[in-house]
Chain A
Amino acid sequence: MRRATRVIRDLRWTLTLAGASLVIFLLLGPVPAGLIMDPAVAFTREPWRLFSGHLTHSDDAHLFWDLTGLLLVGSLYEPLLKRRLGGLLVAGSLGICAGISVIQPTVIAYCGLSGLINLIVGAGAVAAWRTERDWPRVLFALAVAAKLLVEQLTDAALFTQTAWPPLQAAHLIGFMLGVLYAVLVVPSPPEAATESPRQIVARP
């Protein structure tokens, strides 16, 4: 019980995102018209779409794999980012939508969590490096970055099959915004040393 409570506390943002996505899908089904990110209205009359669009999905497979990816990535990096993850998600949600509108103006609708997932990976990588030189997590993020690079070079999202065509630009934008955010927000090593999760684990 105590362990479950600790997991919930340590992964509160990840679980909140996953839960919200699941509830939206169960209640409203795929592609709820009032919630998907639509650049034509999201930046003017209906700003909630800038956030809700990430929580909507085009089909059940899209939801399932996004949720699985989120839970994996969240469990790896949220303990490192902790409370900073809230700010990261808010800024990242806005930034990803703005980035999509600028880089791919032909996109008229966007949905899905993968932009945020890559956002967490990008920020987590910086946090892992800065806090305790956590090489496995950094290497994990570098592998993700390599995949993003290949996607950009080949102009195609790798491996993805969804009802809506994958938007690989969202992955790259999310990752880069995550890196940028963490560089600005996560403290440098001397300050961070007192907050290392590993030290917290070792303390008792």
Chain B
Amino acid sequence: MAIPLRSLQSLVLTLALLGLATGTRAAGLLSPSDGSLPTLTIRDHQVEVLIQDGYAVTTVEQVFHNPHGRDLEATYSFPVPEHGTVAEFTVWIDGKPVTGEVLPKQQAEAVYQSERAAGRDAGITTKDAYRTFDIRVSPVRAGQDTRTRFVYMQAIRIDHGIGRYVYPLEEGGVDEQKLAFWTANEAVQDRFGLKVHLRSGYPIEAVRMPGATGATIDQLDDRRWDLSLTAGAARAEEGSGQPGPVQSGPAYRLDQDILVYWRLAQNLPGGMDLVTHKPDPEGRGTFLLTLNPGDDLEPIDQGADWIFVLDRSGSMRGKYGTLAEGVKQALGTLRADDRFRLVTFNETARELTKGYVTVTPEAVHDWADRIAAVQPNGGTNLYAGLQLGLDRTDADRPSGIILVTDGVANVGETQQRRFLELLAKKDIRLFTFIMGNSANRPLLETLTQASNGFARSLSNAEEIVGEILAASSKLTHAALHGVRLDIEGVRVSDLTPAKPGSLYRGQQLMFLGHYWGEGEARVTLKGRISGQEKVYRGRFAFPARSDRNPELERLWAYDRVREIQRELDTFGEDADLRDAIRDLGTQYGLVTDQTSMVVVREEVFQQLGMDRRNAARSQAERRAREQRMQQQPQSPRVDQAAPMFNGNRATHSGRGAGAISPWEVVMMLIGAWVILILQRRGTARSASLAPRTDSA
């Protein structure tokens, strides 16, 4: 399928610009908008992140302060990190940290409310679907502080050799009811600090924290980088070099995502990386297998049809002007053999173009003006937008839909299954750009996967360059569709994802699963490129024992939860699936749509007969992280003996040579020869003139 590369680049640029226009909904302490309850403050907010072995663990420690004369409940809300879930919640009670345990959602709520009503210290972390994690702590005593900590973990993927981590803080602004009821106090009164420890098994060339004024980046060696950002009084204290009372300073606001990018060394070979956790040689192990394909997907170049499906619902208000300008630029860079249609949607869908438009300068100018004239308002009927976009596709030409949305499907058809049925009617790729932190990411990802497209999440603070490079490179190359992975030689089960979908250029494939025993495993990766079967084979050895990465167990469990949740969203209510999520959540200590994490006093845990399984697991994970931090990272590659892929990994073609060609040199030589001849003639002429002057 041929792809309008520049169109996409401009579109991504648009998305980034939209981010700039976004409001300042943020993570923070919530209080009712009607002022019925006084506002608490965040006194201290310290974030520590360890990125290593294909996943990130984020630890956030906060101090809430109650400046009022009566005890109050604190409610802290923050966006759900991409593919991440809360795995630890700790509240300091009587000066000691007490880590929570996971219970089914209703049961956890009942325990929390019971303790709260009794005036005893308690806390709870719940998940509000794909939107937010909400933390409640009660009581924050009058005039006093309460310290809390939560930890979440998420898989981190490398794309085109570029890693990306987002500390999500911006609220997406799509849940109007919640926004109307609550006001977020996102100011950190005293100290804000963020530390990122980046550890890589492969050399890292460069690290960036765009937009983070005052951030420091330290390269310890080529595989270990430390980044830090401090604000408010913390910086003043550091400058003084003396511990002491907190000094006043400007409040840091938790209203912008913090991004970290890192770039691996060029020319890394394709291969297989393996990270395992198997504390008992006789027991079950968990593994994370990452496939980094060589750059062997061929470029494609032919005309295509492009359907832009653009969200013009009310949540796009304030952003739409920038969107229109970006689409104008995108249309302006389409090729002459491309065609386009423009569809917008809010509560209804409307095609602006009334059919395909051939790309001419006049057409682009005309339609760009018409897009700009649209006024965003109303709800989000995503189904209607896609339905209209899929209408009138030409089976003889490759087609793609570029969907841009920052919201949720809340009008018209909203069932995931109907969306999938709609997409199944046409052989068309859906490429989705998901804006902000509150979009219905599960739905949009499911749709794009079903159509063999890809979804890109964009933070509102996103830099455009990496997104442009990553997306355009994928769209200008063939993709491996219908990917299947088989592992033989060692007993392996519970592989996630069960259906990996498609592999685009520059992407990694990450699989989590369980294994028993040890020894050599034979791996086969199959897929189709333009209808032709492609097979990759490799070998590696599973270790008998390893205990460096206990987090793998939870990462596998959460991957499984997401797959089950996807089934639930597609096929509707199913008690077995719901129970499966609940069981995984409670067994592995994960906050999910079916489970919450509750903290009560230690004696209450005992009274309730609650096993302190999550506390022990969290402590073991913390110890493992401390050890990993101290050790030199090792290469996770395991297929050196029998490489699975040929060639190096795909990277951005962002390298440039200032080069003079042989032909240029030849032409320069001719030019220089001509100049030399002319110069000699001139000199001879001057010399012949000189004696005459002298004689005169």
Q: Which residues of A contact B (CB under 8 A)?
A: 33, 38, 40-41, 45, 54, 57-58, 62, 65-66, 68-70, 72-73, 75-76, 96, 100, 104-117, 136-137, 139-140, 143, 147, 157-167, 169-171, 174, 198, 201-202
Report B329 CB to chain A, min CB distance, Å.
15
Tally chain B residues at the interface, Cβ within 8 Å: 39
| B117 CB within 8 Å of chain A | no
| B652 CB within 8 Å of chain A | yes
| B206 CB within 8 Å of chain A | yes
- Give the residue of B660, B667, B671 whose beta carbon is less than 8 angstroms from that of A65: B660
Give the complex CA separation of A160 and B674 in angstroms: 24
Give the complex CA separation of A69 and B661 in angstroms: 9
Give the complex CA separation of A76 and B664 in angstroms: 15
User: Which of B263, B652, B664 is packed against the most chain A CB atoms within 10 Å?
Assistant: B664
Q: Is the CB of A136 within 8 A of B662?
A: no
Chain A residues positioned under 8 Å from B653 (CB to CB): 165
Q: Is the CB of B672 within 8 A of A76?
A: yes
Chain A residues positioned under 8 Å from B205 (CB to CB): 33, 38, 40
Chain A residues positioned under 8 Å from B662 (CB to CB): 65, 159
Chain A residues positioned under 8 Å from B608 (CB to CB): none
Q: Is the CB of B675 within 8 A of A110?
A: no
Report B686 CB to chain A, min CB distance, Å.
5
Q: Is the CB of B656 within 8 A of A104?
A: yes
Give the complex CA separation of A139 and B661 in angstroms: 20
Q: Which residues of B contact A (CB under 8 A)?
A: 205-208, 217, 263, 265-266, 465, 468-469, 652-665, 667-669, 671-672, 674-675, 678-679, 682-683, 686-687, 690
Chain B residues positioned under 8 Å from A139 (CB to CB): 671
Report B576 CB to chain A, min CB distance, Å.
49
Report A165 CB to chain B, min CB distance, Å.
6
Sampled A-B contacts (24; CB under 8 Å): A33-B205, A62-B659, A65-B661, A66-B660, A72-B672, A76-B675, A105-B465, A107-B656, A109-B266, A109-B654, A110-B656, A114-B659, A115-B658, A136-B671, A140-B668, A140-B671, A140-B674, A147-B664, A157-B661, A159-B662, A160-B661, A164-B656, A164-B657, A198-B682
Chain B residues positioned under 8 Å from A171 (CB to CB): 658
Nearest-CB residue, chain A, relative to B463? A105
Nearest-CB residue, chain A, relative to B656? A167
User: Which of B206, B657, B658, B679 is packed against the most chain A CB atoms within 10 Å?
Assistant: B658
Nearest-CB residue, chain B, relative to A67? B660
Give the complex CA separation of A160 and B663 in angstroms: 8
Q: Is the CB of A157 within 8 A of B675?
A: no
Chain B residues positioned under 8 Å from A174 (CB to CB): 658
Q: Is the CB of B661 within 8 A of A111?
A: no
Given the known interface contacts A69-B668, A202-B686, the answer about A158 and B661 at a Cβ–Cβ threshold of 8 Å is: yes
Report A54 CB to chain B, min CB distance, Å.
7
Give the complex CA separation of A41 and B205 in angstroms: 9
Give the complex CA separation of A111 and B563 in angstroms: 46
Q: Is the CB of A159 within 8 A of B658?
A: no
| Shortest 3 CB-CB contacts between residues of A and residues of B | A167-B656, A112-B658, A69-B660
Q: Is the CB of A165 within 8 A of B675?
A: no
Nearest-CB residue, chain A, relative to B658? A112
Q: Is the CB of B658 within 8 A of A136?
A: no
- Give the residue of B207, B655, B668 whose beta carbon is less than 8 angstroms from that of A108: B655
Q: Is the CB of B675 within 8 A of A162?
A: no
Q: Is the CB of B206 within 8 A of A198?
A: no
Give the complex CA separation of A100 and B469 in angstroms: 16
Report A171 CB to chain B, min CB distance, Å.
7
Report B269 CB to chain A, min CB distance, Å.
17
Q: Is the CB of A109 within 8 A of B664?
A: no
Give the complex CA separation of A160 and B662 in angstroms: 8
Q: Is the CB of A111 within 8 A of B664?
A: no
